[in-house]
Chains A and B, each alone.
Chain A
Amino acid sequence: QKEVEQNSGPLSVPEGAIASLNCTYSDRGSQSFFWYRQYSGKSPELIMFIYSNGDKEDGRFTAQLNKASQYVSLLIRDSQPSDSATYLCAVNGGSGANNLFFGTGTRLTVIP
């Protein structure tokens, strides 16, 4: 069973701070990595994806990937109360597999 591990939290940060969310995965063959945001009672929405080692920035969000350490992270700069949600890490199966494997999510609370 391919595993994706996340700290369930809750993670609390003050408004304006940087929130750091972490994820590790077990399958060294994984090639695609995704971060989904899920508000309470809503469905997950894709906010970031990364395929290559290093950083990828999109507005206040930065995804970081280290394949050697099998580690992917999401940084949220200038955190806002509207960022309060559960963040799901997802990783594709290796060898061209079609499925994604999801972590159980980290709940983030941004305190005004």
Chain B
Amino acid sequence: DVKVTQSSRYLVKRTGEKVFLECVQDMDHENMFWYRQDPGLGLRLIYFSYDVKMKEKGDIPEGYSVSREKKERFSLILESASTNQTSMYLCASSFPTGGGYGYTFGSGTRLTVV
């Protein structure tokens, strides 16, 4: 069964901490994405990557960075966590075919910053 695995299901961090969210996929997908999802705002794209060591800003990159050292792993980094970063974070991956096959999502990480 193909999977996108996010390292933590629930996470509680303190304001100012550096937070790492890890995502690993076993489908040999080139494309990987990080979204956050908040009630009433839908999915908002933070960063995405089409290849190893490549990254592109999405719609809301402020306060975040990413790392993609290997094809299967895409990490989201909150440099200094703030309470407004409390959210559900979703990782997704896909083939590079014009979005033709859709995305596969991980199970999500619900992050609470206190």
CB <8 Å contact, B94 and A49: no
CB <8 Å contact, B98 and A88: no
Interface residue SS majority, chain B: loop
Tell me, in angstroms, the Cα distance from A36 to B92 when the chains sit together.
13
What residue in chain A is nearest B110 (Cβ atoms)?
A: A41
Contact of B105 among A45, A51, A98 (CB under 8 A): A45
A42 touches B (CB below 8 Å): yes
Which residues of A lie under 8 Å from residue B108 when comparing CB positions?
A: 42-43
Which residues of B lie under 8 Å from residue A46 when comparing CB positions?
A: 102-104
Total interface residues on A, CB under 8 Å, equals 26
A90 touches B (CB below 8 Å): yes
Contact of B102 among A41, A90, A103 (CB under 8 A): A90
Which residues of B lie under 8 Å from residue A97 when comparing CB positions?
A: 98-99
What residue in chain A is nearest B105 (Cβ atoms)?
A: A43
One digit per residue, 1 when the CB lies within 8 angstroms of any chain A CB and 0 when it does not, for chain B 26-59 equals 0000010100000011110100101000000000
CB <8 Å contact, B90 and A98: no
Which residues of A lie under 8 Å from residue B98 when comparing CB positions?
A: 31-32, 92, 96-98
Chain A interface (Cβ < 8 Å from any Cβ of B): 8, 31-32, 34, 36, 41-46, 49, 51, 88, 90, 92-93, 96-100, 102-105
Chain B interface (Cβ < 8 Å from any Cβ of A): 31, 33, 40-43, 45, 48, 50, 90, 94, 96, 98-108, 110
6 CB < 8 A contacts A-B: A44-B105, A46-B102, A46-B103, A88-B43, A98-B96, A99-B48
